[in-house]
Amino acid sequence: MSVGRFSATAAGFNRAVYERLKPGCAYVIFDHAAAAGTGASDTRSLHRIDPASVRKEVEAAGFVP
């Protein structure tokens, strides 16, 4: 799926995906998990992200669990 031009932020990317998915489709994210409560602080050094942080960003784009 092409999301075309989107903001160079996670929020912009998630919103672009949300706007382009057809109803009933699933948006699945696989990544390495960081320790709970670390947010995105380990994304550059360890390539890890707190799953709760990702969930919050994805839900802010309009996705529902």
Q: Count structural domains, the chain.
A: 1
Strand-pairing partners, residue 33, are 49
In a domain, residue 49? The reply is: yes
pLDDT at 57: 92
Interval 17-53: pLDDT, tens: 999 999 999 999 888 887 788 777 766 677 778 889 8
pLDDT at 4: 59
In a domain, residue 46? The reply is: yes
Q: Which domain holds residue 63?
A: 23-65
In a domain, residue 12? The reply is: no
Q: φ and ψ at 6, to 5 degrees?
A: -145, 165
CA 3 to chain centre: 14
In a domain, residue 56? The reply is: yes
The whole-angstrom separation of Cα 59 and Cα 39 is 15
pLDDT at 2: 52
In a domain, residue 18? The reply is: no
In a domain, residue 15? The reply is: no
In a domain, residue 4? The reply is: no
